[in-house]
Amino acid sequence: MEIIENIASMQAFAERKRMEGKLMGLVPTMGSLHEGHLTLIREAKSRTDIVVVSIFVNPTQFGPGEDYDSYPRDLEGDARKVISAGGDMIFSPSASDMYPEGYLTYVDVGKVTEPLCGLSRPEHFRAVATVVNKLFNIIKPHKAFFGQKDYQQSVVIKRMVKDLNMDIDIIVLPTVREPDGLAMSSRNSYLSEEERKVSPVLYKSLTIASCMIRDREKNARKILSAIKRMIEKEPLVSIDYIAITDSETLKDIDEIKGKTLIALAVRIGKMRLIDNILTEPQGS
């Protein structure tokens, strides 16, 4: 598998493929690929001609004290996985090429970056929107593929694409989970055996909350309390946030009417894990 590291070469490759009439797909990642990423690559391959997988651990989206330096990196292993899933090209630029000296420009998507993960990671979504915008400019995809696990990220990117009139289809695919329900993440490998054992409580509590909504419980506060009670039974887990929001604006709701997002972030040991579920009352 050819790996392009140089921005100009990537732009030239993408331009050539577009001129040949190829439909370009992009799967943006930070590497350390798992089954969730591979599902995105397979889906991209079924919907486009040329699938580029970007592998770039974006320094600007890690806050102070976060795990940028220790974030798992394995370009060779990732290349094998990209081939097995049908990807055509890896784009893996250096941080100094992406952010050369004098770099100044950032994309601020506004309100949807503020709640949920934005509360404890205030610069995060500005950095994500910026790097994704840069990847879109370099790779010029017709379609880009993201996972629902990072639901807020997908809302931010869809908003950016709409507001800035970018001619790109954003496709969000369901979260891929371990057999016990834990959402797949490159960071799961950091969990100790004991921490890993308690981690399915996230999805269990979301599933119970979703059942309550499907059974027409309308009171968001009652549902939030049920999730909280369940998570608090696990002493290794501490809650960052649990929220029930409108699925597009990400604004908290008190009364559940239609399509609803239940999202949470917790800390288990040193790790911060996020998960979410989209749900709605039965028959609505």
The amino acid occupying position 210 is S
Phi then psi for residue 108, to 5 deg, are -110, 110
Q: Which CB atom, from 79 or from 223, has the smaller least distance to ligand PAF?
A: 79
CA 104 to chain centre: 25
CA distance 158 to 148: 12
> Rounded to whole angstroms, what are the CA distances from 134 to 7, 107, 141, 207, 235?
10, 10, 12, 36, 42
Q: Which CB atom, from 29 or from 92, has the smaller least distance to ligand PAF?
A: 29
Burial class (CB in 10 A: 0-12, 13-18, 19+), 199: buried
Q: Which CB atom, from 92 or from 245, has the smaller least distance to ligand PAF?
A: 92
CA distance 218 to 224: 11
Q: How are the residues of the chain apportioned to helix, strand and coil, as percentages rounded to the nearest 5?
A: 45, 20, 35
Q: Smallest gap, in angstroms, from Cβ of residue 27 to ligand PAF?
A: 9
The catalytically annotated residue of 34, 37, 124, 142 is 37
143-147 sheet: strands from edge to edge: 3-4, 89-91, 50-55, 24-29, 143-147, 169-173
CA distance 31 to 74: 7
Q: Smallest gap, in angstroms, from Cβ of residue 64 to ligand PAF?
A: 18
Contacts with ligand PAF, residue ranges (CB under 6 A):
28-30, 58, 61, 128, 131-132, 150, 153
Q: Which CB atom, from 58 or from 247, has the smaller least distance to ligand PAF?
A: 58
Q: Which CB atom, from 63 or from 281, has the smaller least distance to ligand PAF?
A: 63
Q: Smallest gap, in angstroms, from Cβ of residue 72 to ligand PAF?
A: 12
Give catalytic status of residue 142 as yes or no.
no
Q: Smallest gap, in angstroms, from Cβ of residue 149 to ligand PAF?
A: 8
Q: Smallest gap, in angstroms, from Cβ of residue 253 to ligand PAF?
A: 26
Catalytic residue annotation: 37
